[in-house]
Amino acid sequence: MILEFADDRESLKPWLRVVYPPELASEHAVGPGPLVVGRSASHSTFVLDDEWVSRRHCRLYREDERVMVEDLGSMNGTYVGGCRISGPTELKPDDELQLGHIVLKLDLRTDAPEADVSPAAPPVPAGESDRAVGDFLAAARRTGVSVGAIETSVKLDSPSDDVRAFVMGEVTDLLRLEQLSDDLLAQAGPDSLLFLMNDISDKQIATFRASLRDKFERQRFLFEGAEIRPKISLRSARFDQAPETAAEVTAQLV
């Protein structure tokens, strides 16, 4: 099914709705940015109260004129139409989406408001990143949660400062779409960004890294009518116990 998201005419707006069990009935709009579904309010934007649902279970997002669902390394899997998915999968209004014991469906409405999406905070600038990362790590140590880190580095053939600023801005915007309230995005250097998450598993880090790689590979960077082809590399690490400094984090990235 083709969904119309145009802003200049009446459009169908997608909403995700719990259909079973009835006592957990709730819904959430699928807005321009990803909708993360899970058990934890600090890890998800649509919270489901089911012990079989992971803290950060899956996410829904718009791709062209479709709504896609992607598992985020959950323990018990994400099912569409009764089949466990292993990669991004289109979710249609007739499909049942099952997470744990909860069944959801996609509604398309012409009279519903658009999702209220608050933009994520801009990345911490390079001059303040060591302190911000240190504070993030200290909080993780106090609460005893694991920490995941992904570094995104950009290399360009063009020496132009304008092109570099444009590409870094596009990369930053893509990362900010993935950022939840407890995550930290910091400028690690002039051409690199560090994304920190807490309470995350090895499987979830690997899934998130693969998802980012796929998005960067599909992203077109058009500057003044010309396509720019940056070389974007990713390194990641996970820590059962949070280290103390940003340098300790970057030293373990692979």
Residue that has been written with the tokens 């070389």 in this structure: 231
Q: Distance (Å, rounded) from C-alpha 155 to C-alpha 192?
A: 9
pLDDT of residue 114: 52
CA distance readout (Å), 227 to 166, 219, 222, 223, 230: 12, 11, 4, 6, 10
Residue type, 170: E
CA distance 48 to 36: 11
Q: Is the pLDDT of residue 119 over 60?
A: no
Strand partners, 194: 151, 186
* This model's pTM is above 0.85: no
pLDDT tier, 113 (very low <50, low <70, confident <90, very high otherwise): low
Listed residue (88, 79, 73) closest to 199, CA to CA: 73
Number of separate helices (H) and strands (E) present in the chain: 4, 17
Strands 226-228 and 231-239: unpaired
Over residues 35-57, the mean pLDDT reads 87
Residues 128 and 138 sit within 8 Å (Cβ to Cβ): no
Cα dihedral value 219, 30, 37, 253, nearest 10: 20
The chain-wide mean pLDDT, for the chain, equals 86
Write down the pLDDT at residue 177.
77
Please tell me which of 31-35, 43-47, 143-147, 199-203 the model is most confident about, judged by mean pLDDT.
143-147
Q: What is the pLDDT of residues 211-223, one digit of tens each?
A: 899 889 988 898 8
CA-CA distance, 101 to 121, in Å (whole number)?
34
Q: What average pLDDT score do residues 95-122 get?
A: 76
Q: Tell me the HSE value of 166 on the side-chain side, using a 13 A CA sphere.
A: 18
Give the CA-trace dihedral at 96, 98, 103, 104, to 10 degrees.
Answer: -60
In this predicted model, which residue has the larger pLDDT, 240 or 33?
A: 240
The CA distance from 131 to 246, in Å, is 8
The average pLDDT across 226-231 equals 90
* Whether pLDDT at 4 is above 60: no
What pLDDT sits at residue 121?
62
Per-residue pLDDT band for 112 (boundaries 50, 70, 90) equals low
Average pLDDT of span 136-146: 93
DSSP strand pairing (58-63 vs 35-38): antiparallel
Q: Considering only residues 200 and 9, tell me which one the structure prediction assigns the higher pLDDT.
A: 200
Amino acid 120: pLDDT: 56
- Output 243 or 8, whichever has higher pLDDT: 243
More confident residue, 119 or 47: 47
Say what the pLDDT of residue 123 is: 79
225 pLDDT band, cuts 50/70/90, is: confident
Q: Is the peptide bond before 21 cis (omega within 30 degrees of 0)?
A: yes
Tokens representing 156 are: 């360009």
